Amino acid sequence: MAPRLCSISAAARRVLGNPGPRAGDVAAAAATRFYSKDNEGSWFRSLFVHKVDPRKDAHSTLLSKKETSNLYKIQFHNVKPECLDAYNSLTEAVLPKLHLDEDYPCSLVGNWNTWYGEQDQAVHLWRFSGGYPALMDCMNKLKNNKEYLEFRKERSYMLLSRRNQLLLEFSFWNEPQPRAGPNIYELRTYKLKPGTMIEWGNNWARAIKYRQENQEAVGGFFSQIGELYVVHHLWAYKDLQSREETRNAAWRKRGWDENVYYTVPLVRHMESRIMIPLKISPLQ
């Protein structure tokens, strides 16, 4: 049987022929639906974070934000190299419709292709406003969404593999908000030794202030379902040169070296991805 080429089916072409919302519409909707009035002061409050006592409760309760019930899902799609352009076109036609539909309690936070790291990879970050009930509500509604089901079927021919994780956001990090570009994004992933998440959080609650001056901090998350004891830090930079300068500047601040000294022993494995936003991404 001849292998299927990465051409888009007639059904998918009908979807593409009905273009989805523009990137500006997606970003504007994200800002309107999920803007947090406390966001501007979150970095200031982090200066006064009290050390968490690990004996009191689960780390997910102690480290996550109390004022929100947001749940995040991160998706990693490894795409057939010859299919990446078709995959991006299909994704950009369908996903913004879910983002803008107020009947679905979910929103796009960011969509990217990996530039450095795993090649031919797409990364999607979703926010579910309302936690696990919102996630289940979306899942049940999507089962009856014919356009989305056709999208999943068409997308399956383009993928080599896919995986996801459900995440909570650290209480001391910024809440991800739409931002104008152009930017590159770095997703730094840390796989911690089991039992060390509280210690990680206590150190980063003090250290995040060293990484706020250039507004490079986008969001910090830890896994709840999927691979456990995984931390994701998302950063934005104008380009690779500004990334290097910003990171070097942190080392000149008293206290940053102490954070590195205490957190490096907690890490079993770490990885960095440099990512380029898709046209639909609220994070540009």
- pLDDT tens-place string over residues 35-47: 444 444 444 444 4
Domain contains 4 = no
- At 13, list the tokens: 């072409």
Q: How far apart are CA 38 and CA 90, in angstroms?
A: 36
Low-confidence residues of the chain, pLDDT below 50? Answer: 1-2, 31-50, 52, 54
Query: How many domains does one find in the chain?
Result: 1
**Assigned token pair, 126:** 């979703």
Q: Does residue 165 sit within a domain?
A: yes
In a domain, 241, yes or no: yes
Residue 34 resides in a domain: no
Query: Residue 210: what pLDDT?
Result: 86
* Whole-number percent of the chain with pLDDT over 70: 77
User: Pick from 259, 223, 273, 261: which is nearest to 46 by CA?
Assistant: 259
> 280: closest CA among 29, 2, 14?
29
Burial 185-224 (b: 16+ CB within 10 A, else e): bbbebbebeeebbbbbbbbbbbbbbbbeebebbbbbbbbb
pLDDT at residue 45 in the model? 44
Amino acid 18: pLDDT = 59
C-beta atoms surrounding 272 within 10 Å: 12
Residue 217 lies in a domain: yes
The pTM assigned to this predicted structure is 0.83
Q: What is the CATH number of the domain that holds 199?
A: 3.30.70.100
Is residue 35 in a domain? no
Question: Which residue range is the domain that position 265 belongs to?
Answer: 42-49+57-277
**CA–CA dist 234, 197 (Å, integer):** 18
pLDDT at residue 25, rounded to an integer: 58
Specify the pLDDT at position 61: 60
Tokens of 190: 């840390």
Whether residue 283 lies inside any domain: the answer is no
Q: Is the peptide bond before 81 cis (omega within 30 degrees of 0)?
A: no
For residue 11, being part of any structural domain is answered with no
